Structure 1
Amino acid sequence: MTITATSVLASVNSEGKRIDTMLLRYPRFIHAEELTHRIIETQPECLFYEAIADGLMYCDDLSRSASSSRAVPVLRMIADIERDPVAPSFWGANQAGMQAKQELAGAALQAAKDCWSMAFRDMIEHAKALANIGAHKQIVNRILEPFAHINVVVTATEWDNFFALRDHADAQPEIRALAQAMKMAMLAAPVQHLDLGQWHLPFVSPDEIRAHQGTMDPTGNLRIVSAARCARTSYLTHDGRKSSLDEDVALGERLTRSRPFHASPFEHSASPYVPGFHDETDQRNFRGWVQNRALMEKAA
């Protein structure tokens, strides 16, 4: 099982306000989040969220884009699960309340692990059978999810509430482990300094930014490229191939043109907020940074 957090990009504005984008990988079973108007998307190239009021990605301060099991080919998802299957990191014993304080031990612990392994093997066989019947991946992959990881891009300027609740003794152990990994990734990240008119562009390289300098719209296409890569949570396509710049632009434009507008991937790019130059509401869930999605929706 994998629980990791990697800094994609960290930026700070002239007022010292920082914005971080991270790429996370963790068990899908801790991802469930509450239903809000801002975080539900079902575009196959984009996002899928479970509408459950629990889990890791519930915080309104966070902008996030998650890999969708509807978009991953079945055999590729099975291969990923067989290579890196999910299992609990703490085998808690049943008790009243949400937190398991004591872990199973001895024969009970081994029996629990054996049951989990049997369920895992059965799930793989049932998924393969469904695929052989000809069922679509949006059906087959659902029964793979309890043993699968999810890749998530998350961007925020306000982290205190998230960490206070998730890096806590009462949090589910896997959630706390991820929150601690996120803290470490933020501490180790190099930080770029940006001024008015410059952009925090996750998954866009410095070479790509330099190549667009001096053009009529130096960051316009790159904001689209960044959104496309955030939607995929990677530079790679869902079949594991590195996307071309033209493919990223095409995907970003499809997300822009779709109705309803699939806007969440455009939340990750941001520019320093300057009072008097920007509307305060353009920050949305950020502080000190104007969110690209806000500007796009205002211009629409």
Structure 2
Amino acid sequence: MIIQEGKGCRVTVVEHSEAFTGKPIATLLLRYWRSIHAELMTHRAFSRNAGSSRAIPVARMIEQVRNDPAGPIHWGKNQRGMQAKEELQGVERDAARAYWREAAGKAARYAECMEEIGAHKQVVNRILEPFQFIHVVVTATEWDNWFELRDHEDAQPEIQDLARTVREALSQSTPVKRARERQLTSSWHLPFVTAEERAGYPEDPTFLAQLSTARCARASYLTHDGIEPKPVEDLDLFERLVAARPLHASPTEHQAYPLPLATQQSKNFYGWRQHRELVEHRFR
């Protein structure tokens, strides 16, 4: 597992596969400043599940904002246009950083006050969002547009940092070769499924795809930081996701098996059949 640190982000290569056709697919776990999340969301080639302010406990968010507030890595100086090419220097930059941390501390205190009077986390956590990190699981077969737009001098510095860190992490990762046989577990791209689990179910990729689905879904309220639910709990979560109306299908977009041709499309993937297609056919 490759972990690459940027100036204000962290990128973990969770699963990196290459089809027998040569077409790669990668699943990454990203941690970055929530304020740039909307820019990542514009990339429709990405399948993603993100930490939700409606789900994560207030106390956990307050602790992060108070002790490690997210924020700018480039303190741009006021100037015309969208790009702050020139940065504050010296005393002014130190003051901007201090004001940011002071604002984070006040937001944490007001969030505590809101929690004390009984406000729900879907309200309270909104106060903290400008200072939050967000955890996002992203899977894609196509990355070129992301790098072209975001690893560019005109992009906001924080998303430049994320794009460059993603590029570096992928360059250091060696994808696992996946064969054509759909019925073999070894042919599937299955984020958060262990080698031991693959070995235990060599011809049952459907079961393991369900485990993977649940573990990708948990990005909305866990951060894969050592908390490992039991497989029976994963299966229960999977059944609740697919039994829900409307169907909660986005976590089924991270699992896939190779298609005969690298140019064949399945949803937003090329060269790989997305698990979501199978789930929608079965459960709709």
- TM-score, normalisation: structure 1: 0.85
CA distance in 1, matches of 2:127, 2:226: 22
Does the 8 A contact of 1:73 with 1:239 survive in 2?
Answer: no
1:199 Cα deviation (Å)? 1.1
Q: Which residue of the partner structure matches residue 284 of structure 1?
A: 267
Q: Which residue of the partner structure matches residue 154 of structure 2?
A: 170
The residue type paired with residue 244 of structure 2 is: S
Q: Which residue of the partner structure matches residue 3 of structure 2?
A: none
1:184 Cα deviation (Å)? 1.1
Three-state SS of the structure 1 residue aligned to 2:135 is strand
Three-state SS of the structure 2 residue aligned to 1:31 is helix
1:59 aligns with one of 24, 43, 51: 43
1:234 Cα deviation (Å)? 8.9
Q: Which residue of the partner structure matches residue 46 of structure 1?
A: none
Q: Which residue of the partner structure matches residue 32 of structure 2?
A: 26
CA distances 1:225-250 after superposition (whole Å, capped 9, x unpaired): 11111112399579973211111111
Q: Which residue of the partner structure matches residue 127 of structure 1?
A: 111
Q: Which residue of the partner structure matches residue 77 of structure 2?
A: 93
CA distances 1:95-127 after superposition (whole Å, capped 9, x unpaired): 222110101123332332222122111101100
1:76 aligns with one of 60, 66, 88: 60
Structure (1 or 2) with the greater helix fraction: 2
1:211 aligns with one of 166, 178, 200: 200
Does the 8 A contact of 1:203 with 1:235 survive in 2?
Answer: no
CA distance in 1, matches of 2:264, 2:159: 33
1:264 maps to 2:250: yes
Q: Which residue of the partner structure matches residue 124 of structure 2?
A: 140
Q: Structure 1 stretches of 5 or more lacking a match?
A: 33-54
Does the 8 A contact of 2:108 with 2:128 survive in 1?
Answer: yes
Q: Which residue of the partner structure matches residue 6 of structure 1?
A: 12
CA distance in 1, matches of 2:272, 2:224: 31
CA distances 1:180-214 after superposition (whole Å, capped 9, x unpaired): 11011111113111112121000001111111235
1:233 aligns with one of 204, 207, 219: 219
The residue type paired with residue 184 of structure 1 is: E
Aligned counterparts, 1:151-230, within 5 A = 151-196=135-180, 197=182, 198-214=187-203, 218-230=204-216
Following TM superposition, where does structure 1 have runs of at least 4 consecutive aligned residues deviating by more than 4 angstroms? 234-240
Three-state SS of the structure 2 residue aligned to 1:158 is coil
Residues 88/65 of structure 1: CA separation in 2 closer, same or farther (3 Å cut):
same
Q: Which residue of the partner structure matches residue 114 of structure 1?
A: 98
CA distance in 1, matches of 2:98, 2:61: 23
Does the 8 A contact of 1:2 with 1:84 survive in 2?
Answer: no
1:82 Cα deviation (Å)? 2.7
CA distance in 2, matches of 1:65, 1:230: 7
Cα RMSD of the aligned pairs, angstroms, is 2.2
The residue type paired with residue 78 of structure 2 is: N
Residues 237/184 of structure 1: CA separation in 2 closer, same or farther (3 Å cut):
closer
Does the 8 A contact of 1:224 with 1:249 survive in 2?
Answer: yes
CA distance in 2, matches of 1:117, 1:236: 25
The residue type paired with residue 126 of structure 2 is: R
Q: Structure 2 stretches of 5 or more lacking a match?
A: 1-6
Structure (1 or 2) with the greater strand fraction: 2
The residue type paired with residue 12 of structure 1 is: E
The residue type paired with residue 201 of structure 1 is: L
CA distances 1:58-97 after superposition (whole Å, capped 9, x unpaired): 1111111111111111111112223321121110011222
